Amino acid sequence: MAGRRVALKAIDWVAFAERVPPNQRGMFNALKTRSDGISAKLASLPEKPVAIDWNFYRSAVAKAGMVDEFEKKFKALQIPEPTDTQTSNINAQEAEANKSAQAYIEGSKARIAEYEEKLAKFKNMIPFDQMTIEDLNSVFPETKLDKVKHPYWPHKPIAEL
């Protein structure tokens, strides 16, 4: 019986739980309970069914040949394995997830680069004590007073003072 008993990969639920973000914890818990239920059910079933004692039946059943016929048919019986319809879906999902993960990581790296740049700008700033107003305007452009729009002091709407 080839193809049976695909080795079950050992899953480290603890490490898995660490990686779950807090907003998906509910889904993770549901998955875990489902998995645990399935594995418990599997463990409860013995691997091989109880063997039938043919000789006893041969002696017990009066009808001649019936037991032999049963035995022959039973031994010849091939129980079909249940077909696996979902693994391909799962693989497809995994490929898609990998793609979106790549995209997300790219975006994340870009964001990190942005943050690092801003951080470097802040780190390399001269201390405020040694700044002139021009230096302040160059570092924080929002502090620059618009002397064209508001030509008279204080160069900004009174409400913003």
Partner 1 sequence: MLAVCVCRCTQCPLEGVDSTSASVLSRCFTRISPVSAILAALCREGHREAETRVPRCCRNLVLHPSDMLSRLVFVSASALKSSGPIGAGVVHASRCLHTSSQSLAPVPPLPEKGGKVRHGIIPEELFQLLYPKTGVTGPYMLGAGLLLYMLSKEIYVINHETFAAASIGAVIIYGVKKFGPSVGAFADKLNEEKVAKAQEVKDVAMSSLTQAIDDEKKEQWRVEGRAMLFDAKRNNVAMLLETNYRERLHMVTNDVKRRLDYQIALQDLNHRLEQEHMINWVEKSVISSITPQQEKESIAKCITDLKALAKATQAKATA
Q: Of 111, 144, 150, 155, which one interacts with partner 1 (CB under 8 A)?
A: 111
Distances (CA, A) of 2 to 15, 40, 126: 32, 24, 72
The answer to the question of residue 96 lying near partner 1 (CB under 8 A) is: no
Q: What angle do CA 54, 59, 60 make, to 5 degrees?
A: 95
Q: What secondary structure does DSSP assign to 97-129, as a single string?
A: HHHHHHHHHHHHHHHHHHHHHHHHHHHTPPPGG
Span 115-144, contacts to partner 1 by CB under 8 A: 115-116, 118-119, 122-123, 125-126, 128-130, 132, 136
* SS3 state at 66: helix
Binding positions for partner 1, rule: CB under 8 A: 4-6, 8-9, 11-12, 15-16, 18-21, 31, 34-35, 38-39, 41-42, 45-50, 52, 57, 60-63, 66-67, 70, 74, 77, 79-82, 84, 86-87, 90-91, 93-94, 97-98, 101, 104-105, 108-109, 111-112, 115-116, 118-119, 122-123, 125-126, 128-130, 132, 136
